[in-house]
Chain A
Amino acid sequence: QSVLTQPPSVSGAPGQRVTISCTGSSSNIGAGYDVHWYQQLPGTAPKLLIYGNNNRPSGVPDRFSGSKSGTSASLAITGLQAEDEADYYCQSYDSSLRGSVFGGGTRLTVL
């Protein structure tokens, strides 16, 4: 059971918009800690996608965006492409654990 809760799967057709939610609690996201997102393509290492709730590292397309409100955060992907098919993970800091926590991951399928 992950500290941060994500839907196991989402799907969308090419060109569509999908969102992935990440729900935490008062000891992590709700405490005001930042949320970060990672993309893990099949058989590869995770890659930083969004940091500090809504910032994209250099090279990440602006089709990817992040937001945070209350005890939850969301990753939005617009103009869905076949190469976006991957697992997506949210991450934050937890004051009870005094360390990093990840969501359980969401598998995105492009139909």
Chain B
Amino acid sequence: EVQVVQSGAEVKKPGESLKISCKGSRYSFTSYWIGWVRQMPGKGLEWMGIIYLGDSDTRYRPSFQGQVTISADKSINTAYLQWSSLKASDTAMYYCARVVMTTAGQYYFDYWGQGTLVTVSS
């Protein structure tokens, strides 16, 4: 069965950098997009962006553009979400998920990682 496995929880200070990962297996990694979704404490799901693993084409939600960087290394079937300078407001659970593209640019998320909890506190 398809597996999506994320890196472990992180505790960081404001201003520090961070890169979390998402590894896919048991499917053709470069044929799919991977999406990142934020869930702040006690809140709902928020789409951040998606990346196509074949050519690293990336699309961001406008509010996250310039705040995070989504990248991938197809040689190791891994996608990344990166911050250059964390803020306390970045504290959240971050999920990655495999994206299924349908028609006219639409998509949904079929297999989800277990989530990576990022805590930013001084």
Contacts and interface: CB of A to CB of B under 8 A. Distances in A.
B102 interface: yes
A82 B45 CA distance: 23
Given A2-B44, A89-B45, A105-B45, A48 B106 contact: no
Interface in B40-54: 44-47, 49-50
B27 interface: no
Interface of B: 35, 37, 44-47, 49-50, 59-62, 95, 97, 100, 102, 104-115
Interface in A70-111: 87, 89, 91-93, 97-105
A50 to B, nearest CB: 9
A63 interface: no
- Counting contact residues on chain A (CB < 8 A from B), the size range is 20 to 34
Nearest to B61: A99
Contacts of B37: 46, 102
Given A51-B100, A97-B62, A99-B61, A46 B110 contact: no
Contact of B95 (A46, A57, A99): A46
A87 B107 CA distance: 21
Contact of B102 (A2, A34, A48, A91): A34
Q: Is the interface of A mostly helix, strand, loop or mixed?
A: strand
A109 B56 CA distance: 41
Contacts of A68: none
A65 B59 CA distance: 31
Given A45-B95, A100-B47, 19 more contacts: A2-B44, A33-B104, A33-B106, A36-B109, A38-B45, A46-B37, A47-B112, A48-B109, A48-B110, A48-B111, A52-B102, A52-B108, A89-B45, A99-B60, A100-B35, A100-B107, A101-B47, A102-B44, A102-B47
